Structure 1
Amino acid sequence: MAYLALDTATDYLSLAVSTPSGIVCHGEMVGQKHAELTLPRLQDLLTATGTELADLEGIAFASGPGSFTGLRIGCGIVQGLAFTLGIPVLGISTLEALAQASGQERVITCLDARMQQVYAAAYVRSESGWVSVCEPVVCNPEAAPVPDGSGWHACGSGFAVFPEALQARFAAQATAFDAALRPSAAQLLELAMPRFAAGHGLPAAQAELVYLRDKVALKTAERQQAGGH
């Protein structure tokens, strides 16, 4: 029995497969080449771990938020494989996976959303898993949702892109900032495997993505106003 996970939500492609000895993960910066690299890298990972497609019992994927194109590519691949193999799928929030990657108990997650905005949320670890105390939103850094209390671990690419605004926003809440931390397919599997075991997997046709934003690009005038090109 094996499970597979794909994270194509950012420019960092991440794939993971569960094996008898644990989770094996592959990740690399691919920019916008998800369409051409995901399947070859997936085949390489399966070959390296001695895993056959027929061994798979379910596939997890990053359901967003993240890159519109990357998310659609990943979801399409997952649906195609799952439909062919007759196995269930599970979408996992990119921000929840980031919280899982932190290894902390109280986590503020913040990813760069382009267009001078961030994807932000806050999670607390409970016995049954992560509980969102600030629901995922897309917003300007200065408007990121602020959880109650202190002792929070703040992480994600948003803090690399907007360090001053976000550190000021969470100055009273966060005791540590990790701008380099990113979610990966390994965390998707850690979160998905218990859910698959509990029967929460869905048919491939029911796979859904969470964009949080309807608009995919700024108009020229908006970019100039924001200081872009």
Structure 2
Amino acid sequence: MSWILALETSTEWCSVALGRIADGGALECLVRHEHTGPRSSSRVLPAAGELLAEAGIALSDCAAIAFGAGPGSFTGLRTACGVAQGLAFGADLPVIPVNSLMACAERVRLGGQGVPALPPDVSVLVALDARMDEAYAGAFRWDGAAQSWQSATDMQVCPPEAVSLPSGPFWLAGSAAAVFGERLTATALALRSVPEALPAAPALVSIALRALARNETVAPCDAMPIYLRDKVAQTIAERQAVAAQRAATAAGEQP
């Protein structure tokens, strides 16, 4: 079966996977998933080389290269997109951009590692810490007949209080609940919270393999990150105001 190389650096994690569907129908992945902070750009290529060597294949043996297109860290998105483009140009491969919020929902759907199976007719609302006192958010509903995710809300970057909720029951995935607590209304309304469901390369592989089967690929020159935010940094005064607000919130939560 076709191999997919996937690169995900939209958060402080550098996540790289080389995966395919094994003969038994299960997803088979070789993975490097490391907390690198801002150093993902120096780790992503070595990690990809390690996985190709471990699998005993060349990059040209892959069917496509997937990357986490965002939303997420501006630098991280540029890293994953740029590396994917460069590798794909060199190996004459197509590229598959994968929504990083959708990748979190896919992590929930795949289950395992302590995450139970997602019940039918339950959406996944993904909310990730976007810094600057905001969250990246979007909800998705799994369509079993089409074997694909459908958007249940528009993607947004906004204060945690303004995150849109999907209609019907939902699970909450991502880091925002731990960062914002009760300010994220979805925390109290979700049937279940899965904070460990962050963007990771194995979920990208799973999504990309379905996209590949549908011929949903792009040329390397057409691969683009998903930016929801025009402003990528705060002023000193804005950072101090956010810090003061979080300190006041923390003080109010103490017994």
- Letter aligned with residue 125 of structure 2: I
**Once the 2 structures are TM-superposed, how far is the Cα of residue 133 of structure 1 from its aligned partner?**
1.1
Partner of 2:164: 145
Gaps of 5+ in 2: 23-27, 110-117, 248-255
User: Aligned to 2:128, which of 101, 111, 120?
Assistant: 111
User: Aligned to 1:29, which of 12, 32, 35?
Assistant: 35
Residue 210 to residue 148, structure 1, CA distance change in 2 (3 Å): same
Partner of 2:241: 225
Gaps of 5+ in 1: none
Partner of 1:155: 173
Q: Counterparts of 2:12 and 2:233 in 1: how far apart (Å)?
A: 17
Question: Which deviations, in whole Å up to 9, do the C-alpha atoms of 1:43-70 show, x marking residues without a partner?
Answer: 1111112121121110010000011001
Report the structure, 1 or 2, having the larger strand content.
1
The 8 Å contact of residues 10 and 199 in structure 2, kept in 1 or not, is answered as: no
Q: How does 1:168-183 map to 2 (within 5 A)?
A: 168-172=185-189, 174-183=190-199
**Once the 2 structures are TM-superposed, how far is the Cα of residue 23 of structure 1 from its aligned partner?**
2.0
- Letter aligned with residue 213 of structure 2: A
SS at match of 2:243: coil
TM-score, normalising length from structure 2? 0.84
Question: Which deviations, in whole Å up to 9, do the C-alpha atoms of 1:22-61 show, x marking residues without a partner?
Answer: 2222201000001111111111111112121121110010
RMSD: 1.6
Q: How does 1:33-182 map to 2 (within 5 A)?
A: 33-103=39-109, 104=118, 105-126=122-143, 127-128=145-146, 129-149=148-168, 151-166=169-184, 168-172=185-189, 174-182=190-198
Give percent identity, aligned residues only: 37
The 8 Å contact of residues 19 and 49 in structure 1, kept in 2 or not, is answered as: no
SS at match of 1:82: helix
SS at match of 1:33: helix
Partner of 1:189: 205
TM-score, normalising length from structure 1? 0.94
